[in-house]
Amino acid sequence: MSPGERTAIYRFYDTNDALLYVGITADLEVRWDNHSRKKPWWPLVARRHVVWRDSRNEALADESRAISEEKPLYNVMGSDNPPPLGSPERPGTTAPAAGLTAEDARRQFADLLNRVGFQGEQILITRHGKPIAKLVPVTGDETVTTEQ
């Protein structure tokens, strides 16, 4: 997608007109289909609002401003302090996962990274019913070192 491509900024609202999510895309049908399959809050969407911008950069600026000022419930990227999953301030989400087998984690790894990195989830990984690892979001002040 080029920076000059016409891009939509969209907002999803619930039945009480609470702002659920703000996003951008050049293809609404594909993006909304993705949301409908992956987002636990999707059933709450009652109304959609779309505005087209002449460039992706213009839409990105609008999206960033909207997330910062309008504080949608389910945007994590660009949000200062999103409420944790499972809290009353983020209805329709669940608390961190109770556990996932290592085999399932292997198959779903990319999705798990997105859930941890962008939604703040913590995911416990088990083998033979016993915890062996935990995926947690980086807090920003952490450094990673590897020994060889």
Look at the block and give the residue holding tokens 């609404």. 28
List every span in the chain annotated with CATH 3.40.1620.10: 97-135
Q: What is the pTM of this model?
A: 0.56
| 94 has a pLDDT exceeding 60 | no
- The per-residue pLDDT for range 95-148, each reduced to its tens digit, is 444 567 888 888 888 878 877 887 777 888 888 777 888 888 887 666 666 665
- The per-residue pLDDT for range 22-71, each reduced to its tens digit, is 999 999 999 999 998 888 888 889 999 999 999 999 999 999 899 889 98
CATH of 1-94, one of 3.40.190.10, 3.40.1440.10, 3.40.50.300, 3.30.420.40: 3.40.1440.10
List every span in the chain annotated with CATH 3.40.1440.10: 1-94
CATH fourth-level superfamily of 97-135: YefM-like domain (3.40.1620.10)
Element (H, E) at 70: helix 56-70
89-92 contact pairs (CB < 8 A, 24+) = 91/41, 91/44, 92/40, 92/41, 92/43, 92/44
Q: What is the pLDDT of residue 26?
A: 94
